[in-house]
Amino acid sequence: MFNYSDELKQTLLSAFKHKGDDYQARTRYLDETKHPKYINRLILEDSPYLLQHAHNPVNWFPWGDEAFQLAKKESKPVFLSIGYSTCHWCHVMEEESFDNENIAKHMNDSFICIKVDREIHSDVDTYYMTAVMMMQGQGGWPMSSFLTPERKPFFGGTYFQPAQFVALMSRVNDAWKNKTSDIIEQANAISQQVAGVMAAKQSLNEIGTNVVDLTAQAIMNHYDQSNGGFGQAPKFPNEPFLYFLLEYASYAENPEALEAIVNTLHIQSCGGIYDQIAGGFHRYATDQNWLIPHFEKMLYNQANLSFVFTQAYFLSGQADFKRIACETLDYVSREMTNGEGGFYSATDADSEGEEGLFFIWDKEEIESLLSETDAKEIIELYQVTDRGNFEGKNILNLNQPLEKIAKEKNLEYATLLERLNKNKKILWENREKRIPPIRDDKIITAWNAMMIKAFAYAGQQFNKKEYIDIAISAANYLFKTNLTSDGQLARSSLTGQASIYALQEDYAYLAEALLQIYDATLDRQWLEQVSTLASDMIERFWDEENGGFFMSSQTTENLLPSSPKEINDNATSSGNSIALKMLVRLNRRTGSQHFLNYAQQLIRSYSDDITQRPYTCSYLICGLLEMLVGEQSDKQWCADGNIHISVVASKYESQYRVILSIQANNNWHLNQLTDEKDNSQPIKIESTGEWNISNIHYPHAITKTLGFQTEPVVVYEDNITIEFTASNNKEIIFPNNLLKLKLKLQACNDEKCLSPEIINICLPL
């Protein structure tokens, strides 16, 4: 073992023994008892990624003050390595360099070495990735950075081959010994530039719906009309773009935006990036047409894409989108959920030392498992060949959506699905006998919240109570398990043990998820939880000087040279983007101006970024759109959250019968309004576009004397249902399938009457 104190040695050995007999040390260096030769401080951590390096011959430190204090004491630079447990090239660099005794000796002699899990310390990753991008023009993982003992970066890169890495360490060590002042000057300059990049910048530009149009134009300029998606290979799902275009298509009634969404989602879900057997999406495609994925599966992709496919189904009516959303959610429920309801983080790309081996197929294997007829259908539909399309084997993929295939074959869609599902279940059961990829079992609060939001939304939209129950179970699990020893929200947990304090995005994502549960259940306990989370987030993370939210808490010690703030939406939407939309919705559901004030301040704080580069923060622009024009939804809140309105429609011949349901909180009701013919009504209903409204049936009113009045008034209370007919002379295709209603109402209780409100409803038919 390393030259540790007896006390530290005993602590590390005890932690190793506590892992149990099933624990397998990830190292080539074992003693005669098959125990690892090396145990470093990472054995004490609760990150699967750090535990993978706990038996390297490198004297790794976790992120913390101890390492930097030792660097100062020994006057050594710091080598900082950042990655995550399902990162292929992270594994490669570990095997080649970090688990090599000769290279490790060089590292230990010349540097204080720190290993960071980017998924737990995303604030640390963001800060140093910004520096690497500035120095190299590109970044990635593993990220390799060299820092001063004051934590300031002076050189950085990504993966290095062993010879490159050794040569680089020699050059850095020589420069540190002989040109220390130059390095410190360079580190100071880089740190100042990083702080400048992350600072909120205000402008005098007025922010209105024109920014929304500019965002759409910029995103559509990157749209790949032939292959779907945005930009060139490697191609990522880019969920923030998808979220935005769905909102924009409804708001602007823009068929081009919807076409881009529909085309992209069809091609993605037909390609190899989608697991055609078990459901769920791989992280990205290495090619232009989504066939060959990087095979790791991340929880956040499952969450965001299942939500997007659900939303796209109701806007476009494409049946395959509902199938993909449900298959993805079912995959997470089946394979990515622990026994108490928490969601695991990811699965690796590699198994048995080869990328993708678990997921690919021989033609002969399929033929051996299925009947001749069934095998022939699977082989034809999923384009299986003798030669294969990936290293001699086959990544299953479709050449067009199953809904279209069913029509061409003159089959009922449900009949085709039933047959395919039976055969895919056989293939899945046999695939489960293979050695699976490593799973990252840590429970990240923000990622779990994304998944909770998706389950709650799909449960509400598809009327699947079991999905809502899964969302509630996961939320309860987080509140039980992802808490630190002093009762604060934690960033993550592993085997029921929580780790560091939560980041701002954890608060924002969890609040957004609980709002979705509230919308699905109308149970006010969830709304109260959201208000508490939002208030705590503001207290801990708000930048009082410049506005916007810091990534990490300002109430605890921050080891970074400056506190990072993030507005750009990347693989996931930034904490500031999520916070904006959540605060706007919380204001609508509670009537609290306090939350809206912070949302407005956030927009002002980042007004320069928003006006100059709105496409980089497209989910934030979704929140801005809601702030300006309201939610694009068939469910709305008004009267300071005391009135909930939902709309459903069913087709009857060439018309639609629409039911408007209004739920009022206790002691609230709708005041009587009168139309131009002096008829009494609880809501004035108008349509936009080409729709005609007729045959309106209102409920009976009651006469009531309010506490602040002496004369009785006519009101409507309790659950109010209004039915009417909607007709459109045009062919019902997008955007004509959007029934947009303008509702005028006035809500009162026994103490006051609110001002009349205009509520906009958007219902896809």
Residue 114: closest CA among 95, 135, 98: 98
Per-residue pLDDT band at 703 (split at 50, 70, 90): confident
In the predicted model, is pLDDT for residue 707 greater than 70?
Answer: no
Question: What residue ranges do the domains of the chain occupy?
Answer: 6-198, 209-356+439-629, 635-764
- Which pLDDT value is given to residue 320? 97
- Which pLDDT value is given to residue 705? 74
Query: Distance between CA 79 and CA 111 in Å, rounded?
Result: 6
Q: How far is CA 616 from CA 232, 238, 447, 534, 690, in A?
A: 17, 11, 21, 24, 35
In the predicted model, is pLDDT for residue 590 greater than 80?
Answer: yes
Longest dimension (CA), the chain: 96
ω before 735 within 30° of 0 (cis)? yes
CATH number, span 6-198: 3.40.30.10
In the predicted model, is pLDDT for residue 240 greater than 80?
Answer: yes
Per-residue pLDDT band at 746 (split at 50, 70, 90): very high
Do 336 and 279 touch, CB atoms closer than 8 A? no
Per-residue pLDDT band at 702 (split at 50, 70, 90): confident
C-beta neighbour count of 388 within 10 angstroms: 15
Instruction: Tell me the mean pLDDT in the region 722-735.
Output: 88
Instruction: Return the SS3 of 359.
Output: helix
Average pLDDT, the chain: 94
Instruction: Tell me the mean pLDDT in the region 366-377.
Output: 97
Contacts of 368 (CB under 8 A, 6+ apart): none
Query: Distance between CA 544 and CA 566 in Å, rounded?
Result: 16
Instruction: Tell me the mean pLDDT in the region 542-547.
Output: 93
Per-residue pLDDT band at 678 (split at 50, 70, 90): low
Do 396 and 361 touch, CB atoms closer than 8 A? yes
The packing angle between helices 504-521 and 445-462, to 10°, is 20
Q: How far is CA 380 from CA 293, 385, 399, in A?
A: 21, 9, 10
Query: Distance between CA 458 and CA 520 in Å, rounded?
Result: 9
Go through the chain and tell me how many residues it has: 765
C-beta neighbour count of 651 within 10 angstroms: 10
In the predicted model, is pLDDT for residue 709 greater than 80?
Answer: no
Instruction: Return the SS3 of 364.
Output: helix
- Which pLDDT value is given to residue 3? 87
User: Residue 79's beta-bridge partner residues?
Assistant: 113, 146
Instruction: Tell me the mean pLDDT in the region 708-727.
Output: 85
Do 302 and 309 touch, CB atoms closer than 8 A? no
- Structure tokens of 509? 């994502």
Per-residue pLDDT band at 204 (split at 50, 70, 90): low
Contacts of 196 (CB under 8 A, 6+ apart): none
Q: 418-467, pLDDT tens digit by residue?
A: 999 999 999 999 999 999 999 999 999 999 999 999 999 999 999 999 99
Q: How far is CA 329 from CA 235, 285, 655, in A?
A: 22, 21, 34
Query: Distance between CA 750 and CA 667 in Å, rounded?
Result: 7
Contacts of 217 (CB under 8 A, 6+ apart): none
Instruction: Tell me the mean pLDDT in the region 228-255.
Output: 96
Instruction: Tell me the mean pLDDT in the region 669-681.
Output: 78
Owner of token pair 């989504």: 290
Owner of token pair 């104190």: 5
Do 127 and 194 touch, CB atoms closer than 8 A? yes
ω before 142 within 30° of 0 (cis)? yes
CATH number, span 635-764: 2.60.40.1250
Do 341 and 470 touch, CB atoms closer than 8 A? yes
- Which pLDDT value is given to residue 180? 94
In the predicted model, is pLDDT for residue 637 greater than 70?
Answer: yes
209-356+439-629 to CATH, choices 1.50.10.10, 2.60.40.1250, 1.20.120.1200, 3.60.15.10: 1.50.10.10
Query: Distance between CA 108 and CA 41 in Å, rounded?
Result: 14
- Structure tokens of 387? 């030669």
